[in-house]
Amino acid sequence: MEEGLTNISSSIIVIKISLTSLGIHTQCPCYVNGSVLSCPPEPDPSPVPRLCQIKCKEGQSFGFHLRMERSCRGYVVRQVDPWSPAALSGLRDGDRVLEVNEDFVDNMEFPRVVQRIQACGLQLFLLVLKGEEYKEALAQGLDLQALTRAYRGEMCSRPRLCHITRDPVLGLGISIIPIEGSYELFIP
C-alpha cells in the first residue's frame, strides 16, 4: 500500500494526502471508491424540530414560561428553570413552540395555546425549533406545519397509554395466545 493511504475495506480507500497539491480544492474528507473520487453528502440544512416530553409530579410546575413577543411571530420559551422537568426534557430558553401535544399552534391565538398547555395534566409534549432555526425557516419561506408533519411522518402519532382494570370474575377481558417457539413472560 502506498504511503498516505489507509485501507478501510476492500473497496474504499481514504485519502490522507493533501489534495490541494493535486489541484483539488475541497472542504470535506474524500473517498476513492473504485476509481471515483467523491465526498460524503453534505448534511441537510433544513431545520429539524425537537420533541420535548415534559413530565412533572403532582403540584410541580413544568418549569418554563411561554411568551408571545411583539417583535416576532410564534411563541417563545423563556425562563427555563434549572433542573425543572422542562430543562430535563431538553427544552431551552429561546426555543419556538410549533406543537403542543401534536396540535400545531404556531398560528393559534396565545390564550388557546396556554389553555392547551394547562389542560394537559402531568405530561406535556412540545415540538420545538431552536430560535435561530425558526427565524431561518421563516426567512426561507418554509411551511412550518409541513415541517412538523415531515418530522412525525404523515400518519404517525405518539403511543397511547391504556389503563385496563381487571374484573374479579371476568379477568382482563382479553386472551393472550403465545406464538409457538416464542417464550415471553405473560401476566395472567
Radius of gyration of the chain from Cα atoms? 25
pTM, two decimals, is: 0.60
Architecture of the domain whose range is 50-152: Roll (2.30)
Predicted confidence at residue 87, as pLDDT, reads 94
As given in the structure block, the three cell numbers for residue 128 are 420545538
CA separation for the pair 118, 163 (Å, rounded):
23
Query: Range with the lowest mean pLDDT among 78-87, 111-120, 162-171?
Result: 162-171
* Tally: H helices and E strands in the chain: 4, 10
Minimal CA–CA distance to 76: which of 3, 5, 132, 123? 132
For residue 164, what pLDDT band results from cuts at 50, 70 and 90?
Answer: confident
Query: What is the location of CATH 2.30.42.10 in the chain?
Result: 50-152
Helix (H, G, I), strand (E, B) or coil at 154: coil
pLDDT digits (tens, 9 = 90+) for 47-94: 889 999 999 999 999 999 999 888 778 899 999 999 999 999 999 999
As given in the structure block, the three cell numbers for residue 52 are 420535548
Predicted confidence at residue 169, as pLDDT, reads 84
| Phi, psi of 110, rounded to the nearest 5 degrees | -55, -45
Give 75: exposed, middle or buried? Use CB within 10 Å, 0-12, 13-18, 19+.
Answer: buried
Beta strands at 65-67 and 50-55: parallel, antiparallel or unpaired: unpaired
Predicted confidence at residue 159, as pLDDT, reads 62
Predicted confidence at residue 48, as pLDDT, reads 85
For residue 18, what pLDDT band results from cuts at 50, 70 and 90?
Answer: very low
CA separation for the pair 177, 37 (Å, rounded):
55
Alpha helices, DSSP H, located in 79-156 = 85-89, 110-118, 131-139, 144-152
Task: Look at 40 and 61; give whichever has higher pLDDT.
Answer: 61
